[in-house]
Amino acid sequence: MYPDEPFTIGIDIGATKVLIGSVTQEGKVVHQQRYDIDLSSEQLLRSSIYDSIANYIDLQQVRNVSKTIGIGVFGHVDFEHGEWMGSMRLPGMDKVRFREDLQAKYGFDIAVDNDVHAATLAEMYLGKGRQYRNFLYVNVGTGIAAGIVSDGRLVRGAANYAGEIGHIFVGKDMEPCMCGSNWCLETAASGGGMIHRANRWLMDYPDSILASKIQSGTVVSVDIFRAALLGDPLAGKIHQEFIWSMGIVLVNLVNILNPEAIIMGGGVLQDEWLMKELSTFVFEHAAKVPSNALKEITLTELGPQVVGLLGASCLAWNYEAMN
């Protein structure tokens, strides 16, 4: 079933599934299994995750498997202790002690981090980040977050929460954000924020070609960008403010962190022309020295279907390299 090369077990825990896979050192997924996750109670959440892991490990040959399992999960992770602290989607949950619960049981070391840090490490080991000692990975999906790599090391911060760029200031008196402020990047440039704007602004643009999709609740960010290209005024306004606010934040990040590259991923960014517009904005407005040092703003080459598993495996590799 498996080739002879060594592999790592990676676990990607998202809001809708637990994906577990076996990843070779070249980043090839040789086997994977998808399990349902049950968020309906804390008890069921735990058991659905732990049962998935038990099932996958039972199924595997352990020959050639590396000694660390990597787990990438949404929300806040205590990297040092290997604990999932919670998520805004699961208010009040008790922390899940992955390392404590799994290490003794299965005999593996356990490395845990959040999904964006995991994806950043996937860029570093397997993606375009291999070329750079200093780069940013920026994920624009339902929310917005970043991973920062400085001199070949992931910047984690005091509580492993570095990279929370969704709440950077992009303008006064905008929509209220769930964080409590009313100036946040996410309200203008995340998938969720743009869909919210489409709903809110539709009354001013009743003839928008997106009207029926908005009213039926099926509009997504890619629809908005395509409608903007066709000249739809509502979509055009949302698109312009996306470029402005995302551009401002990327300029801030270039000035603060002086990266060689910005690698972007996430469901919102699927069009090369958007990347070109963002690049033009950033190179025009960033300070001269960091602008000259920035080689590219580019889309990730790692597919959305595999980046979670690859990231989880890279977490394990990074953990082994650090310990």
Binding status of residue 176 toward a second copy by CB under 8 A: no
Helix (H, G, I), strand (E, B), or coil: what is residue 300?
Answer: coil
Report 247-266 residues binding a second copy (CB under 8 A): 248, 251-253, 255-260
Nearest-10 Cα torsion for 255, 256, 261, 264: -110
| Minimum CB–partner distance for residue 256 and a second copy (Å) | 6
Q: Indicate the DSSP class of residue 151.
A: T
| Minimum CB–partner distance for residue 69 and a second copy (Å) | 24
| Minimum CB–partner distance for residue 245 and a second copy (Å) | 9
Phi-psi region of 82 (alpha: psi -120 to 50; beta: other; left: phi over 0): left
Binding status of residue 181 toward a second copy by CB under 8 A: yes
Give residues with Cβ within 8 angstroms of 206, minimum separation 6.
none
Please, which residue, 5 or 284, has the CB nearer to a second copy? 284
Among residues 10, 290, 308, 311, the one that binds a second copy under rule CB under 8 A: 290
Binding status of residue 170 toward a second copy by CB under 8 A: yes
Quote the CA–CA distance of 24 and 3 in Å, as a whole number.
9
CA 234 to chain centre: 28
Give the CA angle between residues 296, 298, 303 to the nearest 5°.
Answer: 150
Applying CB under 8 A, the span of 44-52, 121-129, 148-156, 193-201 interacting with a second copy comes to: 148-156
Report 47-76 residues binding a second copy (CB under 8 A): 76
- In three-state form (DSSP H/G/I as H, E/B as E, the rest C), the secondary structure along 267-278 is CCCCCHHHHHHH
| Minimum CB–partner distance for residue 291 and a second copy (Å) | 10
Binding site for a second copy (CB under 8 A): 76, 132-134, 146, 148, 150-151, 153, 155-165, 167-172, 179-181, 183, 248, 251-253, 255-260, 285, 287-290, 292-294
